[in-house]
Amino acid sequence: MLFDSVLPTVQLLSSLESVLLNPAAALLMPEIVRETQDLIEQGALLQAHRKLMDLECSRDGLMCEQYRMDSGNTRDMTLIHSYFGSTQGLSDELAKQLWMVLQRSLVTVRRDPTLLVSVVRIIEREEKIDRRILDRKKQTGFVPPGRPKSWKEKMFAVLDRTVTTRIEGTQADTRESDRMWLVRHLEIIRKYVLDDLIVAKNLMAQCFPPHYDIFRNLLRMYHQALSTRMQELASEDLEANEIVSLLTWVLNTYTSTEMMGNAELAPEVDVGLLEPLLSPGVVSELLDTYMSTLTSNIIGWLRKALETDKKDWVKETEPEADQDGYYQTTLPAIVFQMFEQNLQVAAQISEDLKTKVLVLCLQQMNSFLSRYKEEAQLYKEEHLRNRQQPHCYVQYMVAIINNCQTFKESIVSLKRKYLKHEAEEGAALSQLSMDGVLDAIAKDGCSGLLEEVFLDLEQHLNELMTKKWLLGSNAVDIICVTVEDYFNDFAKIKKPYKKRMTAEAHRRVVVEYLRAVMQKRISFRSAEERKEGAERMVREAEQLRFLFRKLASGFGEDMDGYCDTIVAVAEVIKLTDPSLLYLEVSTLVSKYPDIRDDHIGALLAMRGDATRDMRQTIIETLEQGPAQASPDHVPIFRDIVVPSLNVAKLLK
């Protein structure tokens, strides 16, 4: 005790005032205070605390004794308090040093763990003194000034503030200075928190008594500080990519092996027991905001992508080709790269969000394809007004057609990759709708290209079944060369559409050939002319058959049936015995049940030898028993209109 050498015992004092006015005591007090102050400044915290405890013990002992003898004597109490006035200042100064050490505890524990241990020992001593004084209070009713100090509680408060400050201080950038500010901020938090908790678990826990449960308490502080910070970030006006970054971090990164699930924190940290950093309500609001923003973004991205693609359509250079040589534009790649990026981002957050984003992409794709169809139609119409422009119209229309197949394949691939359950009705219906639109775009594009072909064939088709044709026109030769030349460009159309386009070109050439027959451009005057004309028709049918077999090579389908129609009509023309006409025409009608009476009338008129009664009898007889079409019959005559003038003439 401080006064053991100066004052024998408190009980021997004649009066309290004589003790406090003792010269030896008066000289000793400033010296003790100075020594304690020096020790604090030197960082000798344990020694300083020992002296502080001696001062406080002497003060508290005197005050307690005075309280016991005369609790109402405020004068003596004030005298004691005044004499030990520097004691409280020393206590506050020491506490300040302790809190400074604790604020830097994660650094201190690595550089000088004994200093941290000293701080904890001091706090633990004070906790014991607090308990002893509170126990004595029950007997005496006396509590010394400044008690209880509750330094353990204050220690945790200091650590809590330190953790909060550390989390808040990790934001180094703003959106204005760095577009990736939030990503950087969250990454710094992740690294700092993980490093801090590993240090706390492996080093700090050894510096504290077990009942302090220091690691669990620090874990709670970090979790609460993070939750508060995440709430603050969530309340800001975040952009879509920032919402994704925040939710990915909160919902996934936080509990992953990169952070709380790290093996170095096990088994003390069980991620399954951690409360969510953000409430479900806040997460839901963020997701709603994200989906709304993403919808607007996707609409804008798709519009811009289409506008960029349209600029390519009028270029003087051909479009690029894929690895198989098919023309294409960059539109499908740009669109689905954008979808992929957003789906990959959504998948980082949750399966549910990934599905929602996929459905959104498909819905917007559906709307986009309607605009794509409109633009492709306008492109075709603009070209037909001036067939010299654009310079590479055919090649870019081929690319547009091919894009349809790429879009279909990409949609299937996207769904297979990101949609776990095909049962999602929205996605399934979207694809059905999109497939229909894409097929319509491709069909319209193919029709437009065939229109190009038949515009160039028109004058040569008009030569068929004329006197010039009968005398040796090369119209069919030119037709075959022209079609083949066009199909050299069409070879760069992808197979599904090229196959249908080839079949349609074949059908249409035959239809135009038969239309020439039905227009009564010529009426044969003799059996010789009929024979010559029929044989020419058969030869030209073979020419066309050879051409389209060549064009359809590799498709694995027999399309000879179209040209067989020309041969069948030629047989009616070639027949030498008019009495057998009914039988021959009946055979023709049985093969092609879509043939009408006006077709038969025009065909008989072309022969030039059937009387009016004969023609009428054949037509009326056939009308009484119309032929039934077979299931695999492909109508060809139904598209052929016989000019009304010719029909009238048949009945004259």
Q: What pLDDT digit, counting tens, does each position of 486-526 carry?
A: 999 888 999 889 988 999 999 999 999 999 999 888 888 89
Asked if 370 contacts 376 with a C-beta cutoff of 8 angstroms, the reply is no
User: For residues 62 and 69, what is the distance between their CA atoms, to the nearest angstrom?
Assistant: 11
Question: What amino acid is encoded at 130 in this protein?
Answer: D
Tokens of 164: 């909060």
User: For residues 230 and 238, what is the distance between their CA atoms, to the nearest angstrom?
Assistant: 12
User: For residues 140 and 270, what is the distance between their CA atoms, to the nearest angstrom?
Assistant: 48
Q: What SS3 class is residue 268?
A: coil
**Cβ neighbourhood burial of 402 (10 Å; 0-12, 13-18, 19+):** buried
The crossing angle, in degrees rounded to 10, of helices 23-42 and 85-103 is 10
- State residue 462's pLDDT score: 94
Find, among 375, 221, 219, the residue nearest to 303 by Cα.
375
Q: Which residues contact 475 (CB under 8 A, 6 or more apart)?
A: 460, 461, 463, 464, 469
User: For residues 384 and 448, what is the distance between their CA atoms, to the nearest angstrom?
Assistant: 9
Find, among 454, 451, 472, 453, the residue nearest to 463 by Cα.
472
Q: How far is CA 339 from its chain centroid?
A: 5
Asked if 547 contacts 484 with a C-beta cutoff of 8 angstroms, the reply is yes
Find, among 514, 509, 484, the residue nearest to 600 by Cα.
514
Find, among 440, 545, 564, the residue nearest to 500 by Cα.
440
Show the CA angle centred on residue 173, arms to residues 169 and 179, nearest 5°.
145
Torsion sign across C-alpha atoms 104, 106, 111, 117: positive
Question: 321 has which bridge partners?
Answer: 327
Q: How far is CA 105 from its chain centroid?
A: 43
User: For residues 29 and 541, what is the distance between their CA atoms, to the nearest angstrom?
Assistant: 129
User: For residues 489 and 482, what is the distance between their CA atoms, to the nearest angstrom?
Assistant: 12
* Helical spans, DSSP H, in 141-180: 151-168
Tokens of 46: 């344990």
DSSP 253: I
Length of the chain: 652
Tokens of 310: 């349209």
Neighbours of 33 (CB within 10 A): 19
Show the CA angle centred on residue 326, arms to residues 320 and 331, nearest 5°.
55
Q: How far is CA 2 from its chain centroid?
A: 75
User: For residues 351 and 357, what is the distance between their CA atoms, to the nearest angstrom?
Assistant: 10
Find, among 282, 310, 286, 340, the residue nearest to 403 by Cα.
310
Asked if 133 contacts 140 with a C-beta cutoff of 8 angstroms, the reply is no
Dihedral angle, C-alpha 528, 529, 534, 539, nearest 10 °: 100
DSSP 492: T
Measuring CA to CA, how many Å separate 622 from each of 317, 515, 517, 590, 619? 57, 21, 20, 10, 5
Distance between terminal CA atoms of the chain? 147
User: For residues 185 and 253, what is the distance between their CA atoms, to the nearest angstrom?
Assistant: 13
The crossing angle, in degrees rounded to 10, of helices 240-248 and 331-349 is 40
Which residue is associated with the tokens 């030039």? Answer: 608
pTM tops 0.95, yes or no = no
Low-confidence ranges of the chain (pLDDT < 70): 1-29, 60-61, 64, 66-67, 70-85, 421-431, 556-560, 621-632, 645-652
Find, among 428, 423, 372, 378, the residue nearest to 400 by Cα.
372
User: For residues 505 and 485, what is the distance between their CA atoms, to the nearest angstrom?
Assistant: 13
Find, among 511, 21, 15, the residue nearest to 6 by Cα.
21
| pLDDT tens, position by position, 164-192 | 999 988 777 777 777 788 999 999 999 99
Asked if 443 contacts 374 with a C-beta cutoff of 8 angstroms, the reply is no
CB hemisphere CA count around 45 (13 angstroms): 23
Question: 327 has which bridge partners?
Answer: 321
